[in-house]
Structure 1
Amino acid sequence: MSSDDTNNKTSGHTHTGTSQNLGNEGLKIQQLFKLMVDSNASDLHITSGTSPGLRVHGEIIKVKTIPLTGEDTKRLIYQILSEDQKNEFEKKLELDFSFGI
């Protein structure tokens, strides 16, 4: 992580991310993937109503953003989903999948 990155602990949850607040509209999935690599995270959790989470050494660490809306979540994952995955997501309103980096 660069010197612009911050880590702070609030109410039992660690938040990590850049000190520059992009807002969720500017947040790109590639930025979250880079943060995963920089943090040695094994998983990325994207759920509406909460900030993205990185699994680091078995613990979920929340990224320093405002909670994602349903539209934010959809916009982020649609950047990498196939048409079949998009259709499954539209039907079930959830999708568990892997994406190699």
Structure 2
Amino acid sequence: LFAQGFLVNLLNPKTALFFYAFLPQFVNPGRGPVAGQILLLGVMFVLLASCTDCLYALLGSTAGRWLSRSARLRPIGRFVTGSVYIVLGVTAAFAGSDKK
């Protein structure tokens, strides 16, 4: 699963365009090789993204274990989840309906 996700992100042209547009504004040609600066910024992005993704996974796993232990919270969790999806669907349905 990890390899598939990695391959999809690697071959996604939107990712390359994002970094092509985003990283150069933080590069100063007077401070050394441009390629090295861009590489350093890219590595820093990957490290920070990995840290935040690991934190999300850890928090989600902990919350999932905590919620699955309580039989009383299961119906409430289903209700909350369903309500969130309904609100998101209604919001998405009416988000683009403004005529200008």
TM-score normalised by length of structure 2: 0.19
Structure number with the higher helix fraction is: 2
Higher relative contact order (CA 8 A, sep 6+): 1
Larger Rg: 2
Structure number with the higher strand fraction is: 1
TM-score normalised by length of structure 1: 0.19
